[in-house]
Amino acid sequence: MQQPLTIYGQTFASRLLIGSALYPSPQIMQEAIQASGAEIVTVSLRRQNSLAAGQDFWDLIKALELTVLPNTAGCHSVKEAVTLAQMCREVFATDWIKLELIGDEYNLQPDPIALLEATAILLKDGFKVLPYCTDDLVICQRLADLGCEVLMPWGAPIGTGKGLLNPYALRTIRERLPNMTLIVDAGLGLPSHACQALEIGYDAVLLNSAVAGAGCPVTMAKAFQAAVSAGRFSYEAVAMPEKDLAAPSTPTLGMPFWHQ
């Protein structure tokens, strides 16, 4: 039995968080999210084009009976992110917020300076902030110092599917923040990428495009569910150390040998 994932005092059996955007249809979205085994789904107010459409989307999400994690996707300023977070709290009736604050349009990299400012404001306002950040150790340390209990460093830029571009940086964050809940968010494209994140000690992964953009989102969701579970089992088992020299797996002591 694997240890549960803990996020701001709540425990979850699944270590896979999943997004609700970009699916070919609402039905496929529901089926894929259910197939993933995820217990937390991210949502964004910015996807809603009208009141009716927004209500229909929200009804679909509520029907899944999962924990909702609103995000501030698309925000470029502290004021914009804080205002949207406050709107999300009212609409979705939760004080959880995935804080996204974009600083660069080319690779959608989070703005580290504005992220720290917005995080401080939202924590003071009673939010449970899950900040989306780069794999920069110092930024992660500053966010932890502010009072965040969960951090979400990227594996690669959003939607690229490149996997873990800098495993060294991610491992360093894990080692330096041993008691922090860490979730790799963004850039994962293959189930093996998710497995790798769990193998190096990350507590969970959050993804969207890798499932929603697959040829068969439901099947891909199942693949990611299996990969996350395998990665966590591998981490808990403690892998054998790497060696430079070959070592036989079958003992040679006591084996007969021939000589002339």
Q: Does 159 count as an annotated binding residue?
A: yes
Is the Cβ–Cβ distance between 48 and 57 less than 8 Å? yes
C-alpha 7, offset from chain centre: 12
Q: Does 93 count as an annotated binding residue?
A: no
Per DSSP, 241 falls in state P
Q: Which of 62, 79, 98, 124 is catalytic?
A: 98
Q: Does 186 count as an annotated binding residue?
A: yes
Q: Does 209 count as an annotated binding residue?
A: yes
Q: Does 147 count as an annotated binding residue?
A: no
213, two tokens:
């953009």
Burial class (CB in 10 A: 0-12, 13-18, 19+), 155: buried
Per DSSP, 150 falls in state E
Which residues lie below 8 Å from residue 227, measured CB to CB, with a gap of 6+? 191, 192, 194, 195, 198
d(CA 33, CA 64): 8
243 is catalytic: no
Annotated binding site for 1-deoxy-D-xylulose 5-phosphate: 159, 186-187, 208-209
Active-site positions read: 98
